[in-house]
């Protein structure tokens, strides 16, 4: 039995690419989704796409959401991630069809949970989010969207209406062969705890956040 498990493990380790593993119904507070689970053999990450309705192939309303434990699960107001996830799920349900690809391994723009917490501690001392990553000797953004493109390929999606304020997501999908018919803003009202973070994203990471102008000039 031990030898058999070893052989199977060796074969599994040699596999590459993204494999669809399971489809399961997922009723949520936003509507009834299908959770489509994938295994990324190249990185070892387990990924999931939440699919709503009959999505078709073209101009599919889509969100690529980077994993954020503090925002998505704990309701942190240090970032806007949790609100963006909720807004994207609501938008897809209201549209009647769409996809939210939840990208695990993207915590802290790809640096991992503990490193993100260390960066947050530095931000509390006065560094911005870019400076904090660099102070730790880490990249400003280490995310790879190749797996998201392969998931969309598997779902039959050829072009998307991308819910994002980040031009790099659009560029990444285009580089992997997914057309972006439109970039749909996903703007969350800022609060006192995240306004500095959001301004840094706009000024240093090129995020399109025009709604910050009113806050910047009105407070």
Active-site annotation holds for 90: no
SS3 181: strand
d(CA 163, CA 201): 16
The residue annotated as part of the active site, out of 42, 45, 59, 141, is 141
Active-site annotation holds for 193: no
**Angle at which helices 146-154 and 167-175 cross, to 10°:** 60
The residue annotated as part of the active site, out of 143, 150, 161, 170, is 143
d(CA 85, CA 102): 9
Q: Which of 39, 36, 65 is nearest to 48 (CA)?
A: 36
Q: C-alpha distances in angstroms, 207 versus 36, 85, 89?
A: 29, 17, 21
Q: Which residues are catalytic?
A: 141, 143
């Amino acid at each position: 039995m031990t030898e058999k498990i070893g052989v199977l493990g060796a074969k599994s380790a040699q596999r590459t690419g993204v494999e669809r593993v399971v489809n399961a119904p997922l009723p949520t507070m936003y509507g009834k989704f299908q959770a489509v689970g994938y295994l990324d053999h190249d990185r070892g990450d387990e990924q999931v796409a939440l699919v709503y309705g009959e999505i078709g192939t073209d101009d599919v309303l889509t969100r690529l959401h980077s994993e954020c434990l503090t925002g998505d699960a704990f309701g942190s107001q240090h970032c806007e991630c949790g609100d963006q996830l909720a807004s994207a799920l609501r938008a897809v349900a209201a549209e009647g069809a769409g996809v939210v690809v939840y990208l695990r391994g993207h915590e802290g723009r790809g640096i991992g949970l503990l490193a993100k917490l260390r960066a947050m501690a530095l931000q509390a001392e006065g560094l911005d989010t870019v400076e904090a990553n660099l102070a730790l000797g880490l990249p400003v953004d280490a995310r790879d969207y190749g797996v998201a493109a392969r998931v969309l390929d598997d779902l039959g999606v050829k072009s998307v209406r991308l819910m994002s304020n980040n031009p790099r997501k659009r560029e990444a999908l285009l580089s992997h062969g997914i057309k972006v018919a439109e970039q749909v803003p996903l703007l969350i009202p800022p609060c006192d705890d995240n306004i500095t973070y959001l301004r840094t994203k706009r000024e240093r990471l090129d995020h399109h956040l025009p709604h910050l102008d009113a806050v910047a000039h009105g407070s």
